[in-house]
Structure 1
Amino acid sequence: MRAHFYTIQSGFLLAAYLLLSMLPLSAWAQLEQTTRIEIPTHDLTNEQFDMFSLGDRGALMVIRRSEYLGNRNEKWIFTKYDTELKVVWTEEYSMDFRYIPVMSYQNANYAYWLFAEPDTDHFLFLQLDLEQGHIDTHRGTLLANVNVNQFKVIGSKALVAGYYRSRPVVIVHSFFDHTTRVLPGLFERNMEINNVDVNEVDGLINVITYAVKKRECVFAIKTYNYEGKLLKTTTLKDPDNSLISGQIVPLNPEDSYLIGNYSVGCTPFSQGLYVTHIEDNVPEEPNFIEFSELQNFFNFMKPKRRQRVLDRIGKRKSMGKENKFRYRLLVHNLIQMEDEIVLVAEVYYPNYKTNSPAMFNGLSRQYMRSMDGFRYTHAIVCGFDRDGNFLWDNCITIKDLTSFELQEMVQLTPIDDYFLLAYPQDGNIHTEVIRREKVVVENEKYEIEAKSESEKVMYNENATLTAWYDKYFLAYGIQRVSTSKNAPVGAPQREVFYVNKFTYNTEDIGKPKPQASTRKASGSKR
């Protein structure tokens, strides 16, 4: 009888093992908060904080401080940290109060900020050497009241793109001789600048435009040399689809791929993705990939709703009908790896709230709708090979996340043979690990901790998350922290700007996962 009991038990364990081996891989791979720094905030100053990833060379912190009384100039404090978040150097600059910051840009060696003096044509460019911390400034005269939406630098020239009197314009300012010119062929009605792409290797400037001409949507790439001369215009049109956005993957000066999203009709609503090969200024016919053709696009839906959508797609296909979808996409910069090109895009929609003022004449109520930020539903990840062929797709669900500014929330970090997807929300970090089209670690949630176990985080502003290098990324923001874990309401608190370094360990992928779905990041150095 005893032997029989062990046989049953062994058989049960074997069956359980076989069952687990057939399930998708799960893991308890821990998110580790390995290092944290804090900068106390000041009550009598207006302060803004920001962080910039420098990859495996460290990170750059930028603090802007202006006093409510006294000196009207704004102090800019630049601090470079190494990968252990230890200070490498600090530089300060007093910015003339007449200038306001417009936009920043960063390349491998420098960080740049564009400043404008309102209601004038005066601009200032601040250049920061990321290696040594040296600061140079360049003043220029551009165009007054330009609505700037892109700013980039190639060599010693700044590119300022935007709209002047409702028409698109790209202004080129030389830091070397302080000359300014406008790129030709852009100042047209009903044209929009989609992207300004700089090719530092070949010294080329590509301005990607979108225009509606005679009820036809025209997507074009205007290529300029370093001197600003128009070299060629590549026009992309399709009788059925309209290209919305595009990013260039250069192979050589005459050969490249264009990857982006498209719509049906001249609308901002995406129908899917596309990739096209451009050689000798001649684009091949684009390969259009509908959202309905993606394997995991609808995984953000609840299972029953997802199945209904898939059944409807299958039914329409069997009847020879097209499946049309209307999604707004925020497409990130392409991630170019050795063998793959990875596209990340968040699906969002504008969030409106209804305001109801008091009774009007005691008879009727007036209702008004106002913009209340953007709500994100999910993010898609797609892989292409170096020949532009679509390989795989996946997605991460984003629950109840809103932002007043339309900005990239989901960060992707390649780790070994996996991709870590992460986004911040309410003082927590949500993560998911995928291996191409497979989800190997489902959604996990981790708290952003205080510096000491004896402290308690009382208040969080929404954290910002940025992929750093290798398996590391940074979370930063404002927190109010109590000095005691059991502090009552009203107890003394300190407000800090924090920067947390996180590590995601993948060694335990495939091992059973603990039951807790929300926990603190482990392995914090106290």
Structure 2
Amino acid sequence: MRTLLLCVIALCSQVMSMTAQVTGRIEYPHRADYEDQVVLPVDDKGLVIQSFAKDSKEGKRYFKTEFYSTAMKLISTDSILIDKGMYFYSDVVESGVLYTVLRQKDGSFMIVAFNPATHKITTTDGEYTRKGSMRNLVIANGSVVFSSTQKKLDRIGIIDLKTGNCRFTDIHFPKVKDKNIFVLENTVIDNTIYALVGVETDVYLLRLDMQGNQLGANNLTADIAERIISASVSKAGNKFFVTGTYSKSKKGGAEGIFFSELKDDRFNNIKFYNFLKLKNFTEYMSDRKQAKIERRKEKAEKAGKEYSLRYLMASHRIMTDGKDYFYLGEAYYPVYRTTWIGNTMITTFAGYNYTHAVLAKFDVAGNLLWDECFPMEPRLMPMYVKHFVSASMKGNNVNLLFTDKNRLVSKLFRNADGNVIQDRTSEIIETDNEDEDVKKMRYSNSQHWYGDNFLVYGTQVVKNTKTGERRKVFAVTKYTIK
């Protein structure tokens, strides 16, 4: 009996509720002089909130950067003049410095660098093509590296942060039309640019130096039948890896994930894993849908075939405990809405719907040691692919934090077997004033900040239950989980 009681106590300690305390809050009145606030956490160094002046003069307006401490206390404020047409495009934190990329339709851009240590702002201005995209922005060694498509031509762009000069390396392959070449991903590791490039049905690894000179190009998929859908390069310890998703057919989304060491710029021990062979991959679905998938899976197996469930996956960088390697991917799919205007049906993209995530442990040979899937449902459908889950090593175990609808979630996975040894959730309270209720909340977003701290922000209508007074604000609330 005593042994049974101890087992029950141990089991209960693994899954527990946590309390989320509001430990800071910032409000901006709806009818203030600045609008379009962008909330940008800088790890445990603080929080940056940037906004645009409503009024302009002679084609210019102010762009404000406010820096707050982790206690949500204002430390510094600085404003710079920018062209009226500039808008927030992207942000990157590199070596503790926040880089904000502003763009406008005529192709010009500005990179605003804020250093939390000095509270100083520096800017880089430059020109870019109006119709060109800027994807996979990476800041490294005083340069911005990105991939771009312009008039069906894919290129790697490199911007010098000191001068603003932008140079390009156009990607061409003999006997291949430029429109059939696409840069899947680019990153910078050890002062070298690694670009994974789709070339018709193959994927090549390109290496370039920081001046854009090509160092090498290897076909990674010449000897494999699977089609790579998405891929990313990571360095963990002293080894390089390529991870992502694949498909066995020529059309549709991905059918599973792959894991491979990158050795001598080639795949080494690449392994493929069908989504449906992962543990609990369909757990987020209703019982009826899960049963339907199982029937189809069994039918395919009897016919000697493999049934696949098509999905897209936002893959994270590989983590390591010094011996083995951890993959994290967030599953999503695009959502489209149709409307009728007279007799014409219009289909529009509504965003990406995220459903669940996969955490898997591999050895260096690509063997799957264990995997766990868990549901996740962010409050919004983003218009671009992003990561909602924050991952880190906590000792030898893997710690994941994310927001799920109105909940804050913290999961700790045991290194040895992937079991959840700590699972904490807490409901989000909208304000820290018990006399106030949030009646409406629009454009709500949330993200992990640092440690056990989260941010929830958006436009709110707040009502005082005692006085009946209402106010419309853009609010940023800090939650600390206990």
TM-score (normalizing by structure 2): 0.85
CA contact 2:155–2:171 (8 Å) conserved in 1: no
In structure 2, distance between residues paired with 1:272 and 1:24:
34
Q: Deviations over 1:455-511 (max 9, x none)?
A: 111111243222233333322223221122x666xx4324232231322x4xxxxxx
CA contact 1:168–1:191 (8 Å) conserved in 2: yes
Q: Deviations over 1:134-183 (max 9, x none)?
A: 12222234444322233322212222421111211122232345543212
Deviation at 1:81, TM superposition (A): 2.7
CA contact 2:271–2:366 (8 Å) conserved in 1: no
Candidates 202, 225, 233, aligned match of 2:209: 225
Deviation at 1:107, TM superposition (A): 0.5
Candidates 423, 446, 471, aligned match of 2:403: 423
CA contact 1:271–1:325 (8 Å) conserved in 2: yes
Candidates 83, 87, 94, aligned match of 2:81: 94
SS at match of 1:466: strand
Question: Counterpart of 1:110?
Answer: 97
In structure 2, distance between residues paired with 1:493 and 1:412:
33
Aligned length: 472
Letter in 2 for 1:480: V
Question: Counterpart of 2:457?
Answer: 476
Question: Counterpart of 1:164?
Answer: 150
Confirm or deny that 1:82 pairs with 2:106. Answer: no
In structure 2, distance between residues paired with 1:410 and 1:182:
31
Candidates 184, 206, 210, aligned match of 2:194: 206
Question: Counterpart of 1:412?
Answer: 390
Q: Percent identity?
A: 18
Q: Which shows bigger deviation, 129-138 or 313-322?
A: 313-322
For residues 264-283 of structure 1, what are the structure 2 equivalents within 5 Å?
A: 264-267=248-251, 269-283=253-267
Letter in 2 for 1:419: N
Confirm or deny that 1:344 pairs with 2:303. Answer: no
In structure 2, distance between residues paired with 1:109 and 1:500:
21
Inter-CA distance 277–69: structure 2 relative to 1 (3 Å threshold):
closer
Candidates 120, 129, 150, aligned match of 2:115: 129
For residues 23-62 of structure 1, what are the structure 2 equivalents within 5 Å?
A: 27-43=15-31, 45=33, 47-57=35-45, 59-62=46-49
Inter-CA distance 340–135: structure 2 relative to 1 (3 Å threshold):
farther
For residues 149-298 of structure 1, what are the structure 2 equivalents within 5 Å?
A: 149-176=135-162, 179-186=165-172, 188-199=178-189, 202-212=190-200, 217-237=201-221, 238-250=223-235, 255-267=239-251, 269-298=253-282
SS at match of 1:248: strand
Greater C-alpha radius of gyration: 1
Letter in 2 for 1:422: F
Candidates 487, 500, 503, aligned match of 2:478: 500
SS at match of 1:345: strand
In structure 2, distance between residues paired with 1:111 and 1:18:
49
Question: Counterpart of 2:349?
Answer: 371
SS at match of 1:300: coil
Deviation at 1:198, TM superposition (A): 1.2
Structure 2 stretches lacking a partner, 5+ long: none
In structure 2, distance between residues paired with 1:252 and 1:18:
39
Deviation at 1:235, TM superposition (A): 1.7
Inter-CA distance 186–116: structure 2 relative to 1 (3 Å threshold):
farther
Inter-CA distance 390–88: structure 2 relative to 1 (3 Å threshold):
farther
Deviation at 1:132, TM superposition (A): 0.9
In structure 2, distance between residues paired with 1:389 and 1:41:
54
CA contact 1:63–1:76 (8 Å) conserved in 2: yes
In structure 2, distance between residues paired with 1:474 and 1:400:
13
SS at match of 1:463: strand
Inter-CA distance 244–47: structure 2 relative to 1 (3 Å threshold):
same
Letter in 1 for 2:68: Y
Question: Counterpart of 1:301?
Answer: 285
Q: Which shows bigger deviation, 319-328 or 273-282?
A: 319-328
Inter-CA distance 279–375: structure 2 relative to 1 (3 Å threshold):
closer
Deviation at 1:450, TM superposition (A): 0.8
In structure 2, distance between residues paired with 1:28 and 1:16:
19
CA contact 2:261–2:364 (8 Å) conserved in 1: no
RMSD: 3.3
SS at match of 2:183: strand
Deviation at 1:429, TM superposition (A): 2.2
Q: Deviations over 1:189-219 (max 9, x none)?
A: 21111111012xx21111221121xxxx111
TM-score (normalizing by structure 1): 0.79
Letter in 2 for 1:52: L
Structure 1 stretches lacking a partner, 5+ long: 1-10, 359-364, 506-526
